[in-house]
Structure 1
Amino acid sequence: TEGGDQSGEEPGGMSRAWGRGPFLRQERSPVSQVEWPQERHITAGFMVRRVLAAGLLFSLLLGSSVLLVYIFRSCGPRPCRTPECHDLQARYLASGNTSVAPCTDFFSFACGDAKGTKSSFQALAEENKRRLREILEKPGSRHLGTGEDKAFQFYSSCVDTGAIEAEGAAPLRQVIEELGGWRISGNWTSLDFNRTLSLLMSQYGYFPFFRAYLRPHPTLPHTPVIQIDQPEFDLPLKQEQEQKIYAQIVREYLAYLSRLGALLGGDPDKVQQHAFLSISITSQLFQFLRPLEQQQAQEKLFQLVTIDQLQEMAPAIDWLSCLQATFTPMSLRPSQLLVVHDLEYLKNMSQLVEEQLLKYRDFLQSHMILGLVGTLSPALDSKFQEARRSLIQKLRELTQRPPMPTSPRWMKCVEETGTFFEPTLTALFIHEAFSPKTQSAAMELFTAIKDTLITRLRRVPWMDEKTRKEAQDRVTQLQVKMGGPEWALKPSLAREEYNDIQLGPSYLQSFLSCVRSLRARIVQNFLQSFPQHRWQVSTWGVSAYYSISDHVVVFPAGLLQPPFFHPGYPRAVNFGAAGSIMAHELLHIFSQLLLPGGCPACDTHALQGALLCLKRHYQSIPLPGGLSFNGSWTLLENAADIGGLAIALQAYSRRLLGYYGETILPNLDLSPLQLFFRSYAQVMCREPSTWEPQDPHSPPMLRVHGPLSNTQAFARHFHCPRGALMNPSKRCQLW
């Protein structure tokens, strides 16, 4: 406006000056060298006009620049001011360390020093449990007399530690009497061994010598089959363990079993003797296990046998009666096929049981009861729980594993309630935390990721045309399950009756009634015609997965929550966090192709070169002191990490071209693409010491630095100099 006023005065003055003489109408001789006085006046006027014209042009440019600034401010990224964005911004500010150069150590830049930091997935899982707690503790929300009411009652009895402490060990002593008692604390009725074993399996959900469970058959039509596996051992034994460590583990476990016997009123000398024999049995059973590598080498990872055949090979167990009691109402026959994980273990286990029955029948009884007490400890008073907690912590110290975090009582009660009343809590959680708007936004994100993968497959250098077409068809035909199972959307399921659950009079009795009800429901569900995919995670869980047998990818509602996803977040956050997770799971469709011989028609040389490049890329990235990893063991997950980030970035970049109005988080000083990379890294934040070598994923720092340093766009948007950790001279292209 100021420039416009000045330009309005100058033309008028110029017009009056030029109107005083006839010089505009005179011609000058081109050869004239004479400078007339009037000509000097004309030259001065001409200069004034040029100055004023320049001023006018400047005014126009200044006005245009103001307009452009206004346009760019209107169309460029705006700060997100919603409560969800405010919470996310606070989370990012609290977790990161902006004093660290992002090109040198982006893990620290995004995650801070990560000491004491829970895994981002673990933190989200705990947040989901808090939401379930709010549901279960909400006054007046239950429908009396329904299964929903029973779920609320069970949770209330679980958190009522006063009543549990008042009961003490009395409910557990009653259980032991029902099993025939034991010599440790007095009376013992020598029941038939297989009858006791059958009761432990069917009524208490405890399997002392082997595990038996239902699973879908690996081939169509996926009919239910019983699988027999090795038991789960309390002792963290290894095939080749130092004698000193082994002796320390045995001492700690002996002290624990002795403490259990003392809490149940046992004679100290008898307790010590029976505890030692129990450890001896466990140790011998462990020696019967064959390493997984040996089973794979012998191509005997799983074997199909009938109940009759197993009875001949492992005669100490009455297989038909024990399995029939456990899997009622299934009707089992001697010709029933079983899937056996380690047949040699079962043969040796049977021989050991026969020897114990001949010499130490009462010690075998004590071994089974001591194991049961350990599994029931969450339902017992604080003395039993503290004994169990102390054992676990000491064993983790001896095996150089990080301490187990202590969970509050309410969280354990939420977990138990969720296990026993999953249909009810599934419906309630979906209603509370996964609205139709959230589901629609999540499905839109998944569609963008899937479409980008289909496009990207056209340029995978090592695929032949036939494999490429088959791969694209596989992605097109893929089913996606998002939020919760279809049945979870039916409100009536939240009020399921659970007629077979009897609550009280003690919490232990309620707990055991729920154990039996759950077992019966699992069997019943397997017997029903169930054409749809059976979910392998709870709705409030945080684990996505791809099912090979059903060709289904699953993203539970619990995963699609802040800070990974929210409809009100900037798109950069949703694509960087949830989008990269979605792409990661989609790439597991093709994991088989990356294995040796998995794609005979592909360009093997190009594929192996890309995989070798990937291994070297990860090996070149420094790790904190004391950490090492097996690049071959983590290869498939590394490939999915790198490919998942690339696909999510391409999908986000395409979305930026088609949509205006992108937002950013205020006070972070990050552009949309920088925010995308920060959100990806935030998913991987985790204290490095919590990573364990058997994890198929790389250590958390590598899960951040590996994919991001392999992405040229990261170095460009963070202005990383050539040769910096996050801008290496060579990158790998697999997907």
Structure 2
Amino acid sequence: MWTEQASGSGTRRRRERSPEEELHTAQDGWWQMTFRALRTLLLFSIILGLSLLLWGYVFQGCGPSPCKTSVCQDLLDLYLASGNTSVAPCTDFFSFACGNINRTGSPFQALAEENKRRVRRILETPGSWRLAPGEEKAFEFYNSCMNMSAIEAAGASPFRQVIEELGGWSIFGNWTPLDFNQTLSLLMSQYGHFPFFRAYLKPLPTPPYLPVIQIDQPELDVLLKQKQEPNYAQILREYLSYLNRLVTLLGGDPTKVGNDASYSLFINSQLNQFLRPGEQQQAQGKVFEMVTIDQLQRVAPAIDWLSCLQATFAPMSLSPSYCVAVHDLEYLKNMSQLIEKDLMKHRDFLQSHIIFGLVKTLSPALDSQFQEAHRSLSQKVGELTGRPPMPVHPRWMTCVEKTEAFFEPTLATLFIKETFKPSTHSAAMELFTTIKDTFISHLHTVPWMDRETRAEAQDRLTQLQVKMGPSEWALKPDPARQEYDDVQLGPSFLQTFLSCIRSRQARVIQGFLQPFSSHRWQVLPWGLKASYSIPDHVMVFPAGLLQPPFFHPGYPRAVNFGAAGSIMARELLHIFDQLLLPGGCPACDTRDLQKALLCLERLYAALPSPKGTSFNVSRTLLEDAADAGALAIALKAYKKRLVLFRGETILPNLDLSPRQLFFRSYAQVMCRDPSTQDPQDIRSPPTLRVHGPLSDSPAFTRHFRCPQGALLNPPSRCQLW
């Protein structure tokens, strides 16, 4: 029933409800509230369920899936061949990962050989490439190098012609002695041979990093130090036999060479006594010193330094006031006195010594009997001294190495096209960026680093440039540099070889005569060593390194982060080596820093060294610190990547989780025979490079469930980086 009620000048109508209607309305409201509550609860449940499902999908998935591609199968075969899974990983992870390394060889060595095979395939398929004018000479050189029948047919005649150009040889009976410094100039400039010292162009390792002529110790053929070699007399007999063999191969009378050979051995032995190890130079703070050519002339007057260097580095304009970098002035002084003392009495013997050394330099272009004679000497001396003999390379490998050296601009470009696809470049840049960003964020956890130093370190990392794979010179080579107009092919392979030596030297000099530009130094694309240019603040990871078994876009992320990622992190850490040296970080907490360094020394000292090896913990400390820090940063970056991206894969039939595969891949980088460790190596033996960082990683202990007391689960750990 509707009623009307007055309200001012207007009226409004109101409908009165019955009790039954009001009860029904109340019930509707209760049901609506209940429905809304249930709907909210259902929505919340759906959201929660989806969140849990998403969490499981992203973080857990259905478990990692096996990678069954061909590249993963090849990697699996390598891991199965090199590892020894019967060894407990918490006790000896090096043997677990590398126990059969004597059979399989070092992964670095295997990769270096594979890169040479890639270059070989390029050189043996010239029709597959679009070549600029003149570049076909690289392929012609390689073919000539491989034509051993023609080289052996020529015999020693091409080298005897070289001897005539040097004034002849008394053993041949046709010697017209040239001035000693004239001979030395010819050796250095025309034949690439440096019998008493080395001279080369290279930027200085300290500010202002300008290119300069550097004078260094020679690379002597046989190291003869009488008091340090228990089989010294036998070594002398083997070397005399080798020199007699050379004379026979050259067509001379070996019965006339006795005094000449003995004098050559005397020169070799004396020069060895003058050599100073590189680490001794560093310990004395004299890696090099700058002197003028005139000052050098006064210290070592037996050498006409201005004429010899001018001939070698023409068209550079040198003068007595030109400064050169000398790495061991005392050696040059002693070498000069030796030559002065014996030059007047034994000029013919000195000529023999020079010719014997020149045979070794030019042996790749000579009859294979010359190379076989030197390999035999190396093997016998190795047996007498306990040193590893010179490796025996197949002919194709020697020819690839020489073609790489002489025709580097052409082969660098072709190698990049063959091996470093855009997808590889993108994946490698993505990996490096993750490693670098993780390192930047990781710096705030470094306990000994003060706020200002941390900010400076973060800025340096942020501003760092990286060249992944090729440098600009390899991608866009100068066409004029590739014409090789100065390379003359033939008539003998030795003459071709010498022409290439001179052409390469001319290119190097022309490059240094150009206005100084950033990043002018070059990293060979088939090389395996990452490099950092201090003046340019540029880091280069060559294409040859970013290859299986260290990196591939199709690998499980655990492999790429454990292998290539740890290599990248190690190079980044080396940028800050100076901070770890005494006085290198005055504002840092020195007490905390020294405590962490001492902790790391003790950690490594507590680990057993491989039999037959010894190392100085204090000498390897910077490398040990980089190894331990690299593993921690690479692992942190890997975890970060897993959070952002789903779908991790593993290697089938290896019975390793993704985290375990990460550690396995880290160790694989270090796999090599510990007995091949160079006593002068500034890095720890490979077993310690594996066990040191792993024993400092709580994550390794957790993922391999290492019990208390196991070698790689020590009671305490360090935190340096």
Q: TM-score, normalised by structure 1?
A: 0.87
Note if contact 2:126-2:139 (Cα within 8 Å) is conserved in structure 1.
Answer: no
The CA deviation at 1:74 is 5.0
Q: Distance in 1 between matches of 2:614 and 2:306?
A: 47
Identify the residue that residue 109 of structure 1 maps to in structure 2: 96
Partners of 1:447 and 1:70 lie apart in 2 by 25
Amino acid in the other structure paired with 2:100: D
1:563 maps onto 2:549 in alignment: yes
1:601 aligns with 2:587: yes
Give the Cα separation in 2 of the matches to 1:296 and 1:88: 40
Alignment of 1:486-497 (within 5 A): 486-490=472-476, 496-497=482-483
Q: Which residue of 2 aligns with 1:184?
A: 171
1-structure distance, mates of 2:293, 2:59: 75
Amino acid at match of 2:240: L
Gapped regions of structure 1 (runs ≥ 5) = 1-64
2:385 pairs with 390, 399, 411, which one?
399
Aligned to 2:561: 575
Q: Partner residue of 2:48?
A: none
| Residue number in structure 1 paired with 2:524 | 538
One-letter amino acid matched to 1:105: D
Aligned letter for 2:164?
A: E
Match of 2:637?
651
Bigger mean CA offset, 434-443 vs 117-126: 117-126
Q: Do residues 130 (structure 1) and 134 (structure 2) align?
A: no
Shift of 1:295: 4.7
Tell me, yes or no, if structure 1 residue 455 matches structure 2 residue 470.
no
Distance 1:145 1:614, change over 3 A: closer
Deviations 1:608-632 (A, max 9, x none): 1111111111121123322221111
CA distance in 2, matches of 1:354, 1:299: 30
Question: How far did 1:239 drift?
Answer: 8.7
- Kindly indicate whether residue 199 of structure 2 is the aligned counterpart of residue 212 of structure 1: yes
| Aligned equivalent of 2:66, options 70, 74, 79 | 79
Q: Quick one: which amino acid aligns to residue 307 of structure 1?
A: I
Distance 1:391 1:193, change over 3 A: same
1:321 & 1:671 partners in 2: Cα distance?
66
Tell me: CA distance 1:143–1:178, structure 2 relative to 1, closer, same or farther (3 Å).
Answer: farther
Shift of 1:297: 6.3
When residues 720 and 294 of structure 1 are mapped into structure 2, their CA distance, relative to the original with a 3 A threshold, is closer
Distance, in Å, in 2 between the alignment partners of 1:121 and 1:501 is 33
Corresponding position of 2:491: 505
Determine the C-alpha separation between the residues in 1 that align with 2:241 and 2:717: 54
Q: Secondary structure at the match of 1:226?
A: strand
Aligned equivalent of 2:45: none
Task: Please state whether the residue corresponding to 2:135 is helix, strand or coil.
Answer: helix
Q: Decide whether aligned partners of structure 1 residues 491 and 467 sit closer, same or farther in structure 2, where only a CA change above 3 A counts.
A: closer
Contact 1:132 1:414 in 2 (8 A): yes
Q: Tell me how far apart the structure 2 counterparts of residues 572 and 598 of structure 1 sit (CA, whole Å).
A: 35
| CA deviation after TM superposition for structure 1 residue 220, in Å | 4.6
For residues 212-255 of structure 1, the C-alpha deviation after alignment (integer angstroms, 9 at most, x for no partner) is 1111134554332111112111122359614x333333222222
Q: Which residue of 2 aligns with 1:199?
A: 186
Match of 1:273 among 251, 259, 263: 259
Find the counterpart in structure 1 of residue 302 from structure 2. Answer: 316
Instruction: State the secondary structure of the residue aligned to 2:231.
Output: helix
Amino acid at match of 2:201: L
* Counterpart for residue 245 of structure 1: 231
Which residue does 1:617 correspond to in 2? 603
Q: Please, which of 668, 681, 687 is the counterpart of residue 695 of structure 1?
A: 681
Alignment partner, residue 20 of structure 2: none
Superposition TM-score, scaled by structure 2 size: 0.89
In 1, distance between residues paired with 2:62 and 2:381? 59
1:361 aligns with 2:347: yes
Report the CA distance shift for 1:220/1:720 in structure 2 as closer, same or farther (over 3 A).
Answer: closer
Indicate if the aligned counterparts of 1:198 and 1:325 stay in contact, CA closer than 8 A.
yes
Alignment length (residue pairs): 670
Distance in 1, matches of 2:126 and 2:377, equals 38
Partner of 1:22: none
**Structure 2 equivalent of residue 94 of structure 1:** 81
Q: Which residue of 1 aligns with 2:31?
A: none
- Letter paired with 1:205: G
Cα distance change, pair 147–706 in 1 and its aligned pair in 2 (3 A): farther
For residue 359 of structure 1, give the secondary structure of its aligned residue in structure 2: coil
Structural RMSD (CA): 2.2
- Report Cα offsets for 1:482-501 as digits up to 9, x if no partner: 21211211277599211100
Q: Cα distance 1:71–1:237, how it changes in 2: closer, same or farther (>3 A)?
A: closer
Deviation at 1:290, TM superposition (A): 4.2
Shift of 1:642: 0.5
For residues 57 and 288 of structure 2, what CA distance do their matches in structure 1 show? 69
Match of 2:107 in 1: 120
Which shifted more, 73-82 or 670-679? 73-82
Return the letter of the residue paired with 2:612. G
Please give the secondary structure, in 1, of the residue aligned with 2:610. Answer: coil
Contact 2:200-2:214 within 8 A present in 1 as well? yes
Aligned residue identity for 2:492: S
Q: Is 1:526 aligned to residue 512 of structure 2?
A: yes
Distance change in 2, residues 1:145/1:510 (3 Å)? farther
